[in-house]
């Protein structure tokens, strides 16, 4: 479902994965959207812009930005609104995951996951809200994860960060609703992106692969466009025909349920990891 009129989007994480796909999908949409594209990897972001014919477009601005920079977020959000006349939709997609049981995870990796995934979203939402409050409208969409509802051993710090994103988003939505600003949180299952592929070689992340194939970026795109149109508080996205969303909600309410059959599910994930390793290019 497409937006009804051209809008101004501010999108993080645009050098790869979901962010890259959303940037290209919106740039190619029939409606002439304005886009400010962000990523910490300036070289990769420049390649996305140049290789896909976006360079030089008056509708597209690309900026190198570290989502952990709170002051930088204020500058970016203001520049977006001043350049295009408004900031209509903020898509907070950038994220970071490092698999590992907590006893083996370096402190620096704990800090990075919390700083990027939690503080990055909070700083972005704060800056976006300040601009949107001045204009009296706007929509902030924060991408959490199904791991922000369920608890997944082997990626416990990532789970903590995405639980925080979900909780923050649900709470701040009520703060901003009375001002005409919507906040939505998207909780997708594993998505076929470079982030997922990086986990193939990590035994601790076996449970991530227990659900079979991941969602496609196109499926996530369709969910995001529907969120833009419908402005729900939360959207859980899983593969059609599966009950993983319901099971995640049940495990959230009744945590001991997650332990049932855990060893069997972990073994399924290990087998899926092994199958992926066999088909990966050498």
> Residue 131 and residue 122: Cα distance in Å, rounded?
14
Which residue of the set 73, 96, 123, 158 is catalytic?
A: 158
Q: Using DSSP, how many helices (H) and how many strands (E) does the chain show?
A: 10, 7
Q: State the number of CA atoms in the 13 A half-sphere of 264 facing the CB.
A: 4
Q: Is 158 a catalytic residue?
A: yes
Cβ neighbours for 38, distance < 8 A, ≥ 6 positions apart? 10, 11, 12, 13, 14, 45, 62, 63, 64, 65, 67, 76, 94
Residue 118 near residue 164 (C-beta atoms within 8 A): yes
281 secondary structure, DSSP code: -
Residue 123 near residue 44 (C-beta atoms within 8 A): no
> Residue 89 and residue 141: Cα distance in Å, rounded?
7
Radius of gyration of the chain (CA): 19
- Pull the structure tokens for residue 180: 């005409």
CB atoms within 10 A of CB 44: 14
Q: Any idea which residues carry the catalytic annotation?
A: 158
């Amino acid at each position: 479902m497409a937006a009804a009129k051209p809008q101004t989007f501010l999108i993080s994480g645009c050098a790869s994965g979901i962010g890259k796909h959303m940037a290209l999908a919106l740039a190619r949409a029939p409606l002439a959207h304005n886009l400010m594209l962000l990523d910490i990897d300036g070289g990769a972001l420049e390649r996305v812009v140049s290789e896909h014919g976006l360079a030089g477009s008056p509708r597209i601005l690309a900026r190198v930005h570290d989502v952990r920079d709170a002051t930088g977020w204020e500058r970016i959000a203001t520049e977006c609104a001043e350049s295009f006349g408004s900031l209509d939709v903020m898509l907070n997609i950038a994220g970071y995951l490092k698999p590992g049981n907590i006893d083996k995870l370096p402190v620096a990796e704990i800090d990075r996951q919390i700083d990027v995934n939690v503080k990055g979203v909070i700083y972005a939402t704060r800056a976006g809200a300040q601009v949107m409050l001045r204009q009296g409208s706007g929509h902030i969409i924060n991408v959490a994860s199904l791991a922000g509802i369920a608890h997944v051993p082997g990626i416990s710090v990532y789970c903590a960060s995405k639980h925080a994103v979900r909780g923050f988003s649900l709470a701040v939505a009520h703060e901003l609703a009375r001002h005409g600003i919507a906040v939505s949180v998207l909780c997708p299952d594993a998505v076929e992106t470079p982030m997922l592929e990086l986990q193939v070689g990590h035994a601790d992340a076996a449970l991530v692969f227990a659900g079979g194939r991941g969602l496609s970026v196109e499926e996530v795109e369709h969910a995001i466009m529907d969120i833009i149109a419908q402005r729900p508080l939360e959207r859980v996205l899983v593969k059609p025909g599966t009950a993983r969303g319901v099971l995640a909600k049940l495990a959230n309410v009744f945590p001991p349920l997650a332990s049932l059959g855990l060893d069997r599910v972990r073994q399924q994930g290990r087998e899926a990891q092994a199958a992926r390793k066999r088909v990966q290019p050498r």
